[in-house]
């Protein structure tokens, strides 16, 4: 019976996937890679002669559907030129007759992203100098993959740990616990955020201290915030710090992006004596109608605990849907006398921003 159910489920899945593929026009011929122009604008191409409509989603100028429309040429090649980009690595994809897809011709020219809900391709917009996310000719650290049993999450979890170049067992260094979005796998800050590249380059140029970065698994099971606090404080931190002999609490930092920033905010403001500083990237904001001290009573009960922390680093793009909540958080911290810095940048809820926020945060610890 189980075999029959498996075959039925598998057949249904294949039929659905084939149905979805049938909706997407087939590319004919090669699709040229995007062209970065002298003014840093980008011209995109897609060879889809049978498509009725093609739009570009690039997370910068068209962060949400329907995206920027492309124009179809007489040869069936679609194209569009964007406004100028900022220097850095950007994500993009195409929406073809309502279906989000990447390079349809099989001529992908960039590193593939590991999750299908993200836009599929990456594009480097460069100047004369290397990007801060490039693999440069500098000493490189090591990314370790640790696995342990989490009673809080009720499953085996992986934890990615970056140790800086020439790390020696027993060397006591500051540590940054860095959370990602729940839907991402625990190594996303390495695979897409380029955390180790950023750290390597900053350490090599003297812009940041030698530090250990810890990338824990996220809350893919939608568990309560208190469970995530237990997971971090009672499981992740003891496991990592006993193995890597990290500095005491004064050298422990906590950061994250999107709902990873929410975990960083919650754990940090509930346990201020445990952390030397917090980094909240595009998240962790305060909804309208809520008082921050009602959520975190220690802010008024024991304000001296927060005076021992470095300024809370908060950063968000001016086109991010979470902007007002994040600004409200910063204003509330100001009102309560908790030192923080709010960095407003261009752009929205994107890895382009999260990479640069991580770079700035590592410089500040």
d(CA 146, CA 143): 10
pLDDT of residue 118: 56
Residue whose tokens read 């990592």: 240
d(CA 309, CA 306): 5
pLDDT band at 219 (very low <50, low <70, confident <90, very high): confident
Between the two ends of the chain, the Cα-to-Cα distance in Å is 58
Provide the strand spans (E) within 34-116: 35-36, 42-47, 54-57, 68-69, 71-72, 77-81, 88-96, 99-101
pLDDT of residue 91: 84
Q: What is the pLDDT of residues 70-99, one digit of tens each?
A: 999 999 999 999 999 999 998 888 888 887
pLDDT band at 152 (very low <50, low <70, confident <90, very high): very high
Token pair listed for 189: 């800050």
Q: What is the pLDDT of residues 3-27, one digit of tens each?
A: 433 333 333 333 333 344 444 444 5
d(CA 214, CA 217): 10
Which of 140, 217, 209, 216 minimizes the C-alpha distance to 363? 209
pLDDT of residue 107: 47
d(CA 269, CA 9): 46
- Hey, which residues does 253 pair with through a beta bridge? 176, 277
d(CA 244, CA 240): 6
Mind giving me the DSSP string for 10-48?
HHHHHHHHHHHHHHSPPP-S--PPPEE-TTS-EEEEEE-
Decide which of 339 and 100 is more confident: 339
State how far the alpha carbon of 111 is from the alpha carbons of 31, 106, 224, 236, in Å. 17, 13, 35, 30
Average confidence (pLDDT) over 169-197 = 88
Sign of the CA dihedral running 215, 217, 222, 228 = negative
Q: Is the pLDDT of residue 330 over 70?
A: yes
pLDDT band at 220 (very low <50, low <70, confident <90, very high): confident
Q: Is the pLDDT of residue 103 over 60?
A: no
Residue ranges of the domains in the chain? 25-125, 142-364
Fold held by 25-125: Immunoglobulin-like (2.60.40)
Q: Is the pLDDT of residue 298 over 60?
A: yes
* Burial class of residue 221, CB neighbours in 10 A (0-12, 13-18, 19+): exposed
Superfamily classification of domain 142-364:
Alpha/Beta hydrolase fold, catalytic domain (3.40.50.1820)
Residue 323 backbone dihedrals phi, psi, to 5 degrees = -55, -50
d(CA 228, CA 153): 8
Average confidence (pLDDT) over 113-135 = 78
**Edge-to-edge, what's the strand order for the sheet holding 277-281?**
142-150, 155-163, 212-215, 175-179, 252-257, 277-281, 312-317, 340-345
Burial 279-302 (b: 16+ CB within 10 A, else e): bbbbbbbbeeeeebbeebeebeee
Average confidence (pLDDT) over 45-55 = 91
Residue 135 backbone dihedrals phi, psi, to 5 degrees = -80, 105
Largest CA distance in the chain: 70
pLDDT band at 61 (very low <50, low <70, confident <90, very high): confident
Q: What is the pLDDT of residues 251-288, one digit of tens each?
A: 999 999 999 999 999 999 999 999 999 999 999 999 99
Which of 5, 24, 213 minimizes the C-alpha distance to 102? 24
pLDDT of residue 248: 66
What is the model's pTM? 0.86
Decide which of 217 and 100 is more confident: 217
Kindly state the percentage of the chain with pLDDT values over 70: 85
């Amino acid at each position: 019976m189980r075999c029959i159910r498996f075959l039925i489920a598998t057949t249904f899945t294949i039929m659905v996937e084939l149905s979805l593929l049938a909706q997407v026009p087939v590319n004919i011929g090669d699709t040229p890679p995007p062209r970065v122009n002298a003014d840093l604008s980008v011209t995109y191409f897609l060879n889809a002669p049978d498509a009725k409509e093609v739009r570009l989603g690039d997370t910068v100028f068209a962060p949400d559907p329907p995206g920027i429309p492309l124009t179809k040429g007489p040869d069936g090649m679609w194209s569009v030129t964007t406004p100028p980009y900022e220097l850095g690595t950007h994500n993009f994809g195409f929406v073809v007759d309502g279906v989000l897809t990447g390079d349809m011709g099989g001529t992908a020219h960039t590193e593939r992203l590991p999750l299908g809900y993200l836009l599929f391709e990456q594009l480097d917009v460069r100047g004369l100098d290397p990007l801060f996310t490039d693999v440069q000719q500098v000493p490189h650290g090591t990314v370790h993959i640790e696995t342990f049993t989490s009673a809080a999450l009720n499953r085996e979890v992986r934890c990615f740990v970056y140790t800086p170049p020439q790390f020696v067992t027993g060397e006591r260094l500051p540590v940054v616990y860095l959370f990602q979005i729940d839907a991402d796998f625990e190594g996303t800050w390495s695979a897409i955020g380029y955390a180790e590249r950023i750290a390597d380059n900053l350490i090599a140029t003297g812009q940041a201290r030698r530090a250990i970065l810890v990338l824990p698994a996220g809350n893919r099971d939608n568990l309560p915030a208190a469970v995530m606090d237990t997971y971090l404080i009672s499981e992740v931190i003891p496991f990592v710090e006993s193995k890597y002999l990290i500095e005491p609490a004064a050298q422990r930092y906590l950061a994250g992006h999107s709902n990873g920033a929410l975990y960083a905010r919650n754990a940090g403001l509930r346990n201020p004596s445990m952390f030397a500083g917090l980094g909240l990237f595009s998240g962790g904001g305060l909804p309208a109608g809520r008082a921050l001290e009602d959520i975190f009573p220690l802010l008024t009960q024991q304000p001296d605990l927060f005076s021992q922390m470095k300024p809370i680093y908060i950063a968000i793009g001016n086109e991010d849907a979470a902007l007002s909540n994040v600004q409200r958080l910063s204003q509330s911290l100001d009102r309560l006398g908790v030192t923080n810095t709010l960095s407003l940048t261009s752009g929205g809820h994107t890895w382009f921003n999260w990479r640069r926020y991580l770079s700035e945060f590592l410089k500040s610890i």
